[in-house]
Structure 1
Amino acid sequence: MSDEVFENATEILNSLYGPIVGTSALGLYFQLKNLAVFQEQPNQIHTHFELQSLLNVSINQLETDRKMLEACGLLKTWLVNSKNQVMYLVRRPLSSKEFFATDLLTILLLEKLGDQVFQQVQNRMVPKQNIPEEAEEVTASVTDTFPLIVERMKRNQAQLTQVKNQLGDFQVGPQNTNQERPLDEKLLLSILENSFVELDSVKLAMEVIQTESALYGIDEVQMGKYVLKAVNLQTNRLDVKKLKTVISNDFRAPEKRDLQNTSVEETVKTDTGSNLTSQQIQITKFAGQMAPLQFLQQIKKQKHGFVTAGEERLVRDLIGRHILSNSVINILIYHLLVDEQHATLNKSLSETIANDWSQQKIVTAEQAIIKLQERKQKSTTKTARSRNGNGRKNIKETLPEWAKTTTPAKNATKLTPEQEKKLQERLNKLKK
């Protein structure tokens, strides 16, 4: 038998990607690959006219082909030097199994080929492995061979983070850039491999598991324990609804949880040239190092409040939509509860701000704070103009719904300087 490691990339491109992107786009892919491999000198600059001549296509067709390749995850593009130059990164195609495991690509191929031809291509590209029914798999898992690997991963988290930073935004296949995958799915499955739970049920629930991990800051080992608690003992399958309940109940009992073992969710990159204050820079760091519900819980504790079921559902929904990073969601929480002094997170207001930030492509905590500063400045300017309007009576400016300064709830509690100091001390402890 053979696996995808022996697959021919050219065959995959022609049989799986070709029907979707077209022969012209494939020609661009191979031409860019050749230009990258067979260069007369390092970092040699080529012109688009050269590409047009080699491929015998118009500039409009070149643009269309480029977008096709980008959409299917075969090409990444950057504008450099004030948009006068374009840098391309040619990416390897997915293996046949990875391709058919990607719903988007599978549907696109099915629509192009039709049911009958699609089935023929799938059978040819992903042949079934003829394993006898009586055969018993004895493949060793990573934790069987390296029993202390999980502990070593925790001890060397700094080095792992450094390696991931050097890799940048490397990912397999076309994915949403805002979608965070904090959990190593292969490691989780390896941890559960020798347990009684059916792994197929875990794989089917992986999207929910990833959301819960991002929501609460849960690592692979802890998630494995939650999964085992949520198994239906009659069927040995994971009960997704029970999993959410188990995690939620554990979160509501913080004394049972060791927050010191929470893994860092992302590395915050702060632009030293920005106009953020030292306190704002500190907030961006906290926002990048805590899961949203942990962040929310600490603020509520400092205000002598508690996280409501509605707030928990709201934050889970924001994470599940994959439109904002966790750090940006944390800034949204901080803004509404601390800056605006609301007692609880308002669903309508939170979703409106999140929708606006998604459209504005806000991807970092720093960008979110700058956006809030801009909104506040515009609001102040409009108010000043209204007061100085040729002696006329003050007229209310019409602002976007979420930009209106709402009246704080009666039960809202403003943080005193001493409480803010305690909050920062509590957040600092969670960093360690």
Structure 2
Amino acid sequence: MFETADPKQKFFVANGIKIYPDSLQILTRLYQPLIGAVGVSLYQTLIYNYNPQMILSDSRGLYFLQEQMDCSLKAIFNSLHKLEAVGLVKTSLIENEVSKIIVFELLKVPTAKEFFATSLLTSLLREKVGQSAFAELSNFFASKAKMHKKMIQTGQDISASFFDVFRLPDAEAITPSAEVQAAAAANQVADVGPAQINEKTNIDWDFMRDRLRAYQISPSEVDHKKAEIISLMQIYGLNEQEFIDEALPTFHGSSELNLREISRVIAENYRSVQKRKEVKQKLAQNRKQPVTVKLSDQHQAILLEAKRKTPAEFLYYLKTRKGGFTTASENRVLNNLVNRGLPVDLINVLAYVCLEYDTVLTASLAEKIANDWLQNNIATPEQALAYVESRSKRPSRPNYTRSHGRRKENATDWSKNQPRVDPNVDLNSLNALFNDLDDQNNSQGK
């Protein structure tokens, strides 16, 4: 892949091609979503810049293309690389003592049939335009192809042959004259082939075939799915052996490569590997941070054991101290923490802290504490224990476990709310009390 910022860089178009209406329709509707409008414009501009009378010494500078297309060199090279990738242009660099010349070789626009037969191009088009537009394009070109030929029942061929109509001397028919042979040679010009995607790779296909044959995968299956294999290897940066190792879990006695399942497995493993790299990188950056808190005697003893034992041994040590036992689910939690890229001694301290909050080691609590530590740049067991001690000295100690506060209704205690009326008062006393109240109200009204 070549690029330059020098507008005086010479370029030369090595061949000419004719672009017909059908080809232009394919270029615009199928290729333009992949290479962009500038890519289509550059392809057509290069076609029009071919001059059969020009030689290499007549090469022009790239500024000539800039003036014709009214765009930057950066945009031209971005589009050129896309044209190279889909196979519409082949670029080479000729160097001599005087100068360097970029040579563009143009290739024909393939037919719609050839385009849709190339799985990489078809998959990329579907990704670019979406499922509904892709289906519409496929139906359009399929219907158009069927319109050019009527499907009729095959009949007997009754066409006249050449020798039924014409007569030549026997010697001329068997061995053409020197003039005829010279004319044939003079008119033998190499055809310009259709575009093919540029699959330049350094993959050792013989190695791939030999290794996969051991798993009952035939060499023809590898050749048939070569484009998809290249795509997966390039996307995830895999070499031949790495691809085979990733694909192994998908082999179930079948002679075919299940590319969909292989892609899923590789994607899952890639995410976990990338996450592990990120965790290890962050831990490496924070390991040198000094510990300013003096650890308690209890934590110093825990630290000593955490550095001596494996995670399984340390968990067993903690559980037996508490009078419990380890479970299979707890061992799975430890295994997941190792796969996340955490160092063994830090995992041990993490298990210790988890068991200070709960009786069993659970994935949710372990991940919650581990995330808290990573966000606070904790990378070593010493830093983790110091962090726990410093947080425990705060007024409100943080609680990693979720507390569910229940609303309490305050019920009325009727034993403390006795009636104020004396239950021993008789009816005559109450009537006298009411009469006194009536007399007071009447006197106030007057």
TM-score w.r.t. length of structure 1: 0.33
TM-score w.r.t. length of structure 2: 0.32
